[in-house]
Amino acid sequence: MKEISIHVGQKIRLYRKMKGLTIEVFAGMIHKSKATVSKYENGDISIDIETLFVIAQALEIPVNQLIDYTKEEAPAEGEGTVNHQLTKSRYYMYFYDGRRNRIARNIIEVQDGGQENGVFDANMYAYLENFDNYYQCKLLYHGVMRRYDTFVNFNFENQNNKVERAFLYAINSFSHSGRMAGLYCGLSTQPILPACFKFVLSPEILEEDEELKSELTVSKEDIKVLKKMNMFVVSDHA
């Protein structure tokens, strides 16, 4: 199916750009012509398995990170709403970037084929200008999602900077159409320092209004709890 070749090509281009490699340089690394690499990335031609492994090795990633294609399907008739939302393959994650005074858009993509004990492979495409093409992200994270009865946990590694690992904990919500409130811990940029902030995770695109902004920004109640408990906590208010 051509959509698989397009998906693989987009992932190759994304990882190549994250490593700061031009097509010319990358083509030389895998012993292919620039034209051939361009066709790979555009999904114009399929890639044999041997070449896929060579490409993955050049990009310093496991080959499964290139072939993680999952066809999204509509929920089966009679399927429970909550169960569908918990297994949905794509989530929209929002946080408020106070340095830029705007809501930051991100997508977390979870593979439907879960591992054992509720562990799923996941990618996070961070700092998107829009949701139309999330392969145009500024930062890319790869890792896993662990799902429990009351919490969802994400453990990500920054593919741009392997030093950084991001940890996300969200409270499972069985209301508000599956929206979840959580806390993100990782490294900030400019300056590079340990940081944490609130986020909202949703199976649907949210309206970026003042109500969402208020959910994402640090409130007076947050400061009150911080002073009392000497810790920053997030309640299920999404």
CATH of residue 32: 1.10.260.40
Residue ending a domain, choose from 65, 93, 113: 65
Supply 217's token pair: 């920004």
- Rg value, the chain, Cα: 19
- Give yes or no for residue 161 having a pLDDT over 90: no
- Per-residue pLDDT, 115: 61
Residues 60 and 85 in one domain: no
Residue 67's nearest CA partner among 127, 111, 8 is 8
Residue 204's nearest CA partner among 95, 107, 96, 133 is 107
Predicted TM-score of the model (pTM): 0.80
Decide if 72 is inside a domain.
no
Residues 89 and 118 in one domain: yes
- Give yes or no for residue 81 having a pLDDT over 60: no
- Give yes or no for residue 79 having a pLDDT over 80: no
| CB of 141 closer than 8 Å to CB of 166 | yes
| Region 108-123 average pLDDT | 79
Decide if 70 is inside a domain.
no
Residues 47 and 98 in one domain: no
- Per-residue pLDDT, 113: 61
Residues 50 and 97 in one domain: no
Decide if 73 is inside a domain.
no
Decide if 75 is inside a domain.
no
Residues 7 and 45 in one domain: yes
- Of 42-56, 112-126, 160-174, 220-234, the range with the lowest mean pLDDT is 112-126
| Region 134-148 average pLDDT | 90
- Per-residue pLDDT, 176: 53
| Share of residues in the chain with pLDDT > 70 (%) | 86
- Maximum C-alpha span of the chain: 62
Start-to-end Cα distance in the chain: 39
Range of the domain at 48: 2-65
- Per-residue pLDDT, 114: 55
Residues 58 and 85 in one domain: no
Number of domains comprising the chain = 2
